[in-house]
Structure 1
Amino acid sequence: MCFSANMSFGLGIVGLAASSVTFLDKTESFWVRVARSYAIFHFSLMEFIQFFAYPVADQCGYGTNYILSELSTYHICLQALAIMPALATYSTDKTALKRATKIGVTLSMLFLLCSFLPKDMQLLDINPNFIGNMVSCLYMGIYHIGYSISSAYGLFVTHGSLFALALSGFLWQNNRKMSSYHLFMAIMTLFVPQWLLGVSTGEAAAIYCFYSIPITGSFMPYFKRFFSAQDYESEGDLSVNG
């Protein structure tokens, strides 16, 4: 399957609509709605970045490609803040949203700090093939736009972001359904394309962002009966009311 700018634009529009619907869910508290809708909105923005990136793909280091690459860097740095609170809202732990937000803010601020440090500062002198000592660029991969992100401590940023997206939901009580779904989708979009299709890590990361709209669509109100720890009909709304 070959992706395109129009597909990214279309998913971006769908994401904005899904974010709006989620925020307007009056059965949830304000901060729960903010957390869930912001997660969808955050990844919608990346689709618009990818839409503008297709015409300038591979023009690394200057012009529009450079600007979009920098925006992609900041977007990736803020993913922990975008996704961790939303995942926590499905826990029966009433403090999960607040604690997840604190962890997400801390991780995202550290990732942002790394993006401003000299890029030759790498853990154990290991230079990952996605985030690390490289020129920031949006390049054309085999099937999709790919990322090359300049940052210090690339291993920390890469695996910290993966933890936030795929594993952080398991930190919270009775949150297995939503956490398992996001872990499964992360494996299917981040790792399976590399294993089966031979794409680079940077291209797989961009493919994850493409599918992040249906992934974060799980935060929409239509699906909370399935992903919540208890049945809404019998137990009522048990979402975090942080």
Structure 2
Amino acid sequence: MTAPLIEVCVEGIDGFLAAQGAGADRVELCASLMEGGLTPSLATIRAAVRAARIPVHVIVRPRGGDFLYSQAEFETMLADVAALRSEGVAGVVIGCLTPDGRIDEARMQALVEAARPMSVTCHRAFDMTADAGEALEALIRCGVDRVLTSGQRDTALEGLDILKQINAQAGDRIVIMGCGALDADTIKAVRDGARLRELHFAALKTIPSGMMFRNPNVGMGGTGKDREYQLTVTDPDAVRATIAAARSA
């Protein structure tokens, strides 16, 4: 089996540079990974594209929460996709659902058409669908290039049976990119168990803030006060170790 392609999910320009420097084949660029990833700022996207030696894929997700969007939200997603195409981004990462847990084919087709010639990935909205096999066929009809999935479970190891099933179902029609708590200890088992060509992980660590003055009387954004003095960053050593494990015999 050939070595899998490795995509690293990162937050911000520092995360991008860390992942690229540690050997990622491709990066998914996000903001706010604590919410599962939101669309990053235009300046961040431009900085990553300027520095890129590998493809940059950008998530198009206007808010946290579910994947059932208002018409106004959907229109912003279309505009973001058009802007990303004009910025020279290699790919976009999208996902829209209907209230009954199906792929919203009309909206996904519109986003795919707006994105070309960029590559299009459906993110883990797929994992929130009612029927994985049905959702996969819907994404194929929409012309999506790949789907990011943990096999509809919290981790790829837990979702391994579904990953195997949908990878067999996909054949050469769409790429199944496995994710879900992948690290140096788990990635090889998922690679071999589902025979995946692409794998995705974040390799994050938490470090203390460099702030010396800390106001104990103010909390920002509803988070715990301690959280404001912690930074979640991409760990290049963990990226290297996980890539090495994914490519080991």
* More strand per residue: 2
TM-score (norm 2): 0.28
Query: If the length of structure 1 is used for normalisation, what is the TM-score?
Result: 0.29
For CA contacts below 8 A with separation 6 or more, give which structure has more relative contact order: 1
Higher helix share: 1
